Amino acid sequence: MSRKRATSYDVARLAGVSQSAVSRVFSPNGSASSKTRKKVLAAADELGFAPNPIAKSLSLGRSRMAGLVVTQYTQQNYPIPLKSALDVISKSGDSLLTQIVDASDDGDDAVRQLLLKRVDFILCAASLSWNATMECRDANVPLVMINRRAECPGVDTIGSPNAGIMKEVAELLYDRGARAPVFLGGGVRNWVSVERCRGLVEASAQVGLAPPVVLDADFNYDGGRAAMRSLAPCIGTFDAVVTASDAMAIGAIDVLRQELALKVPEDVQVVGHDDVEAGRFQAYRLTTVRQDMHTIFSRAIELAFSKARDFGRKEESIIVQNKLIERATTTSPADSSNNRTR
């Protein structure tokens, strides 16, 4: 029967109490005698009543909606963030408004949209201009930058040690006999890529690898292929490829094997980044870096909540450990000892 949804007034009338009594029964800290409560609940049940969240929002001044900005790449290769964010947010009964931006764009427009929609806070996994960042502050909307740096103070930040983990990558490579790495990145506008690159360059010097040759390309499969092809004239001058994304790594491997007739990992070792599903395919078994996205997003939300409670507090900066996953695109210890003795 599709008549209009019941309101708290309908429930009140049926239960023979005031509307505010109904409101109290449905409020976490409402006080009501168990007698009223029972009457109200019965009436509510009979009418199929549930409080209207929109009216609630208007009254409370909080929309109970969170905003999430992710790049298309993230959305495609990390099923986790969306799902994680959704789970955490839903748990408290809130909703999630998602905006997807192209990898090459910043999140400014997306954030502005979310601000217009009056979200309570924003998680942003895309770069953001100083202006857009300030707009959040002016609107008193907590902003948490995920795997990006904040353009101005007062903004919480959380992410993986994108540069730091490269030390481990460099050590692994050195240990497995590689000496001359190439880095495939996504360009200077891609923050995580820049960090990963910097990390590799610094670590290479420390562990004794040659200074990496750095190449930029699209952050995807085709980008990896294109970059690798452009390296064809240099075959023999490098023995490892480190990429800023798994998609690029997989593209690189395909070209290495099928077009350049090189063996992975015997001739060239490859390390990716992100641990996407395809990296586990038997055809690749890609050595890569996995970020703990679930923790990142869960804690990002905690940060936002705490900021909402005390908007004036100093910004926090959290780093969630990531992990190097060894698979078959780096040589096994046994093989590498052969390499090293030769």
Partner DNA sequence: TTGAAAGCGCTAACAT
Partner DNA sequence: ATGTTAGCGCTTTCAA
Q: Quick check: 7 binds DNA (CB under 7 A)?
A: yes
Q: Minimum distance from CB of 10 to DNA (Å)?
A: 8
Report how many residues bind a second copy under the rule CB under 8 A.
48
Distance CA 84, CA 98 (A): 13
Pick one of 27, 38, 91, 117: the residue that binds a second copy (CB under 8 A). Answer: 117
Q: Quick check: 313 binds a second copy (CB under 8 A)?
A: no
Please choose which of DNA, a second copy, none residue 278 contacts, taking the beta carbon within 5 to 8 angstroms, the exact cut-off set by kind. a second copy
Q: List the x/- string, 58-97, binding to DNA by CB under 7 A.
A: xxxx------------------------------------
Please choose which of a second copy, DNA, none residue 130 contacts, taking the beta carbon within 5 to 8 angstroms, the exact cut-off set by kind. none
Pick one of 58, 152, 234, 235: the residue that binds a second copy (CB under 8 A). Answer: 58
Residue found under tokens 């670590």 = 203
Please choose which of a second copy, DNA, none residue 139 contacts, taking the beta carbon within 5 to 8 angstroms, the exact cut-off set by kind. a second copy
* 228 contacts 272 by C-beta, under 8 angstroms: no
DSSP count for the chain of H helices, then E strands:
14, 12
Q: Pick the closer one to a second copy by CB: 69 or 300.
A: 69
* 97 contacts 67 by C-beta, under 8 angstroms: yes
**Helix 246-258 and helix 221-230: axis angle, to 10°?**
50
Q: Quick check: 13 binds DNA (CB under 7 A)?
A: no
* 165 contacts 271 by C-beta, under 8 angstroms: no
Listing DSSP states for 4-69 in one string gives: PPP-HHHHHHHHTS-HHHHHHHTSTT----HHHHHHHHHHHHHHT----HHHHHHHHT---EEEEE
Distance CA 182, CA 231 (A): 9
Q: Quick check: 2 binds DNA (CB under 7 A)?
A: no
Distance CA 239, CA 217 (A): 19
Stretch that binds a second copy, among 12-20, 116-124, 143-151, 290-298 (CB under 8 A): 116-124
Q: Quick check: 52 binds DNA (CB under 7 A)?
A: yes
The residues binding DNA (CB under 7 A) are 4-5, 7-9, 16-21, 23-24, 26-27, 30-33, 35-37, 49, 51-52, 55-56, 58-61
